[in-house]
Chain A
Amino acid sequence: MAGLITMDDLTNEQIIKILDDATRLLPVAKGELFLPLLQGRILGNLFFEPSTRTRMSFETAMKRLGGEVVNLGDIKNSSVVKGETLFDTIQMVDGYTDIIAMRHPRQGAAQYAQDSARVPIMNGGDGAGHHPTQTMLDLFTIRQAHGTLEGLKVVLAGDLRYGRTVHSLSHALTRFGCQLIFASPKLLKMPTEIVSDLRESGANVVETEDLLGSINDADVVYMTRIQKERFVDEDEYARCAGGYKLHADNLADVKSEMIIMHPLPRVDEIHASVDSTRHACYFNQAFNGVVARMALICYLLGVTVPVDVESEGGAL
């Protein structure tokens, strides 16, 4: 069965269908309703690399819909350190579960797992490769705020070089005709091959080092963390990263419906003063990880999300 390895596995229509399903599942994700669509189904969480948030989010998504979860557990104690191949691990888990969520340090691991498996694989990050479930929750959050994905002006800021989140998201937004502004220090620019890929697929891309000068007519400002380790020394880091921080004081002239997103964890790129503004969307974005994954799991397992969730669901 097909899984979700990269965003290319979904058409725009399929993306919108999943986001629609997710919207209807919100009361279930919030725990206001119980709708056991996935009762009797088992998710295998295969995290070969620690990622508490993503793993928890998959687990919560499954459990909110009445499904069960089995975990690979601590890698240090597993057969993987004894030299088991990914192929063999997948053969075992494939037999135990109905769907697998996976993160792996090596690029291509998710596709490899999908080729080895009978059940759908959801790629929760493979090396510097893809992280499509993050993209789905980002798209859900943007659409929730603006009612559409089409033709928005989106600023992506911070570490655009190493952040796989912003790579997948840029590709997806391009498919919906968004205008992209990449704001980053020179050292952390969006890789040139990605920029040329985006332009080839018709993207309207602007590259700049000026974040604050770019936010006033933006619909979305997507911040990412700049890691100290990317720079030769502390001074260089301070000099470069300084311009990629947001404070509530910077938001005086932005559009009222503009949202600020961040894949979290943040360090100091978004000041706590922003949290209480109407633009802060990152905690809601993190919550949306659950509902987006609920809809995705249903979609991949061929489980129909009822049109009227309210009347199908029961009280908790």
Chain B
Amino acid sequence: MPNEHSMRRVTAIRNGTVVDHIPSGQALRVLEMLGIGGKSSVPVSLVMNVPSKKMGAKDIIKVEDRELTQTELDRLALVAPDAHVAIIRAYSVAEKLTINLGTEVLNVVRCTFSNCITTNLREPLPHRLKVIGRDPLHIRCHYCGRPQDLDELIKNVL
């Protein structure tokens, strides 16, 4: 595997999740979106700006003793739509998961516009963002139509 070498920059983990092919410099954002880091009790290691044949440079995150769920992966799709995720059990890859940034991001983040109808958190319909373009990322709120800035959006993870 071409990324075997770079994977080894961080020590192998026994159980947990490896997120590879994160766009270079986005690892901290990924952790933020997953709500992992600072206060979490699980060990996390990350490498940033590792040379990558496919991406030029990339970031990698390893989270020990925690298997990411599909909901968490959906969150990841916003910042690292092409990331590879591997669930590790007893030092080997037990499962490979794919991230898919579809045409809609449902109930992952809420719209950042202060006058959007969805700012009333008691409104029961799902938070819906439409993916208009992927590169560069262009996202709009399904309801108010406002374009969303990723830095702002990350603060609105549900």
Measured in the bound complex, the distance between the Cα atoms of B118 and A87 in whole Å is 11
Residues of the B chain whose Cβ atoms lie less than 8 Å from the Cβ of A128: 115
Contact indicator per residue, chain B 120-134, by CB within 8 Å of chain A (1) or not (0):
101111000000000
Interface string of A122-143 (1 = CB under 8 A from B): 0000111100000000000000
Which chain B residues border A112 with CB–CB below 8 Å? 117-118, 123, 125, 143
**Complex Cα gap A106–B113 (Å):** 10
Do A85 and B120 form a contact, CB below 8 Å, given A111-B143, A115-B125? Answer: yes
Give A137 Cβ to nearest chain B Cβ, in Å: 22
A108 and B144 CA atoms in complex are apart in Å by 4
Of B113, B118, B125, B142, the contact of A116 (CB 8 Å cutoff): B125
Q: Which size bracket describes the interface of A in this complex?
A: 20 to 34
Judge whether B143 and A85 touch: CB under 8 Å: no
> Any chain A CB within 8 A of the CB of B145?
yes
Q: Is the CB of A129 within 8 A of B145?
A: yes
Report if A85-B119 is in contact (Cβ < 8 Å); known contacts: A6-B145, A129-B145. no
Q: Which chain B residues numbered 108 to 158 have a C-beta less than 8 Å away from chain A?
A: 111, 113, 115-120, 122-125, 141-147
Main secondary structure of the interface of A (DSSP, over half): mixed
Rounded to whole Å, the gap between the CB of B123 and the closest CB of chain A is 5
- Is A86 touching B144 in the complex (CB atoms < 8 A)? no
A106 and B115 within 8 A (CB): yes
**Contacts of B144 on A, CB cut-off 8 Å?**
106-108, 111, 126-127, 129
Docked Cα-Cα span, A104 to B111, in Å, equals: 18
Which one of B115, B119, B143, B146 has the greatest number of beta carbons of chain A within 10 Å? B143
Residues of B within 8 A of A87 (CB): 123-125
Nearest CB in chain B: distance from A79 CB, A? 13
CB atoms of A109 and B117 under 8 A apart: yes
Inter-chain CA distance A106–B143, complex, in Å, is 10
* Cα distance, A193 to B147, chains bound together (Å): 10
Residues in chain B near residue A193, CB distance under 8 A = 147
Dominant secondary structure of chain B at its interface with chain A: loop
Q: How far is the CB of A253 from chain B (nearest CB, A)?
A: 40
Q: Which residues of the other chain, A, contact B125 by a CB distance below 8 angstroms?
A: 87, 112, 115-116
Q: Smallest distance from the beta carbon of A99 to chain B beta carbons, Å?
A: 20
Alpha-carbon distance between A6 and B113 when the two chains are bound, in angstroms: 18
Contacting A108 at CB < 8 Å: which of B117, B122, B124, B147? B117
Within the assembled complex, what's the spacing in Å between the Cα atoms of A167 and B118? 23
Closest residue to A128 on the B side, CB-wise? B115
Of the four ranges (under 10, 10 to 19, 20 to 34, 35 or more), the interface on chain B belongs to 10 to 19
In the complex the two chains form, is B122's CB within 8 Å of A107's CB?
no
- Residues of B with C-beta under 8 A to A111: 117, 142-145
CA distance A94 to B89 in the complex (A): 52
A106 surroundings in chain B (CB, below 8 A): 115-117, 119-120, 144
Inter-subunit contact B118/A108 (CB<8 Å) = yes
Taking the closest CB of chain A, its distance from the CB of B18, in whole angstroms, is: 38
Output the nearest chain A residue to B141 by Cβ-Cβ distance. A108
User: How many angstroms between the C-alpha atoms of A85 and B117 in the bound complex?
Assistant: 10
**Within A133-166, which residues are at the interface with B (CB < 8 Å)?**
none
- Min Cβ gap B110→A in Å is 11
Q: Which residues of B contact A107 (CB under 8 A)?
A: 113, 115-117, 143-146
Residues of the A chain whose Cβ atoms lie less than 8 Å from the Cβ of B111: 108
Residue numbers in B under 8 Å from A104 (CB-CB): 117
Query: Which residue of chain B has its CB nearest to the CB of A104?
Result: B117
Question: How many angstroms from the CA of A108 to the CA of B143 in the assembled complex?
Answer: 4
Residues of B near A108 (CB, < 8 A) are 111, 113, 116-118, 141-145
* A contacts, CB < 8 Å to B: 6, 83, 85-87, 104-109, 111-112, 115-116, 126-129, 193
16 A-B Cβ contacts within 8 A? A87-B123, A87-B124, A106-B144, A107-B116, A107-B144, A107-B146, A108-B111, A108-B116, A108-B117, A111-B145, A112-B117, A112-B143, A116-B125, A127-B115, A129-B144, A129-B145
